[in-house]
A and B are shown apart, each in its own frame.
Chain A
Amino acid sequence: MSGSAQSVRLNLTSSVQYVLRIADTCLIHAQRLSEWCGHGPVLEEDIALTNMALDLIGQARALLTRAGQLEGQGLDEDQLAFLRDERQFFNLTLVEQPMRRSSAHSPGGDFADTTLRNFLLASWLKQVWQGLLSSSDAQLAAIAAKALKEVRYHQQHAGDWVVRLGDGSEESARRMSAALERAWPYSAEMFVADVVDGAAAEQGLGAARSSLRGAWLADVLAVLDKAGLKAPADTPFLSSGTQGVHSEHLGFILAEMQSLQRQHPGGHW
């Protein structure tokens, strides 16, 4: 075994941060989805959730590799995933939130939260990837072409569940509605304009987040409407994961995700 468990420090440019925002959102969302592995409500959905988590890990790996190349210190995907500290992760805060109630003592939602979050995110990532199709960075464009097929399926699969549960029994409708109330305030962060996005749009790297809301909302409202759900009112709350300032949950995820690489630096199997 070789290497070092020392945390890596990034030379953060706006391009690197732009790519890491998408990479980390995919990675942390995958980590949360994978908590369902072996616990799905039915065997078939258990496999479906795991398949989607694996798609997202694949996307995160490709993006982390590219981010490492753009960053310039020669960091690889593993170093970026396992040796970065919390403040250098730039995922949406939404994906950190507990997704599955694993015990009476553990916070978190239920299957409605999972499937709703997956739908909101897939609808967002679809717009992000679409913007990256024409990226000035040929590698990002190639990653986007593959990822877009995957995320279109995630959106359909998760959207189907939103409709089934929202338009299902009284109990399932109540839970889906509660999940929507919980997730909605975090969706504001998906569309914040800032210098990182401005620079990315200017360089032709990818779309600015602020330009994605219209198309996202059209997709989301179409499904909510079929599900008999109403979009909650927007609130002033604005999460800040994409600035590197996270909720209390990310630290726990990273502790679990990174512990092996930290204890056995450079270990692979």
Chain B
Amino acid sequence: MSDEKGNVTNEWPLWEVFVRPKAGLDHKHCGSLHAADAAMAVQMAREVYTRRQEGTSVWVVRSMDITASDPGEKDMYFDPMEDKVYRHPTFYELPEAVNHM
């Protein structure tokens, strides 16, 4: 087994697991696991994360294939949105017919 830099490791690669609780809903991230390849990751996800009927579908993706925002840049990235209430659609008058939106 070798990692992305070609170093030999004894660990299987890490996979992120997404489970869809029922048809029509989104797949939700529920955790991670180690597996030798994608097929094994799907089986292990079934074993580890759907034992209590949590899911009807499973996605897995190599953790190293996920690009994440930098936690150190959280201020710059997310704080400026704090005072922009006008971006929330709360100022529209809704007709009676769409009451439950």
Contact = CB atoms under 8 A, between A and B. Distances in A.
Contacts of B34: 42-44
A42 B43 contact: no
B68 to A, nearest CB: 24
Contacts of B46: 153
Contacts of A42: 12, 34
A166 to B, nearest CB: 15
A48 B46 CA distance: 9
B40 interface: yes
Given A44-B48, A47-B48, A51-B51, A160 B43 contact: yes
Nearest to A45: B44
Interface string B22-62: 00000000000111100110011011100100000000000
B47 A160 contact: no
A194 to B, nearest CB: 37
A157 interface: yes
Contacts of A51: 47, 51
Interface residues of A, number: 12
Nearest to B37: A164
Contacts of B12: 42
A68 to B, nearest CB: 29
A153 B48 CA distance: 14
B44 A164 contact: no
Interface in A168-227: none
Contact of B40 (A43, A153, A160): A160
Contacts of B33: 43-44
Interface of A: 42-45, 47-48, 51, 153, 156-157, 160, 164
Interface of B: 12, 33-36, 39-40, 43-44, 46-48, 51
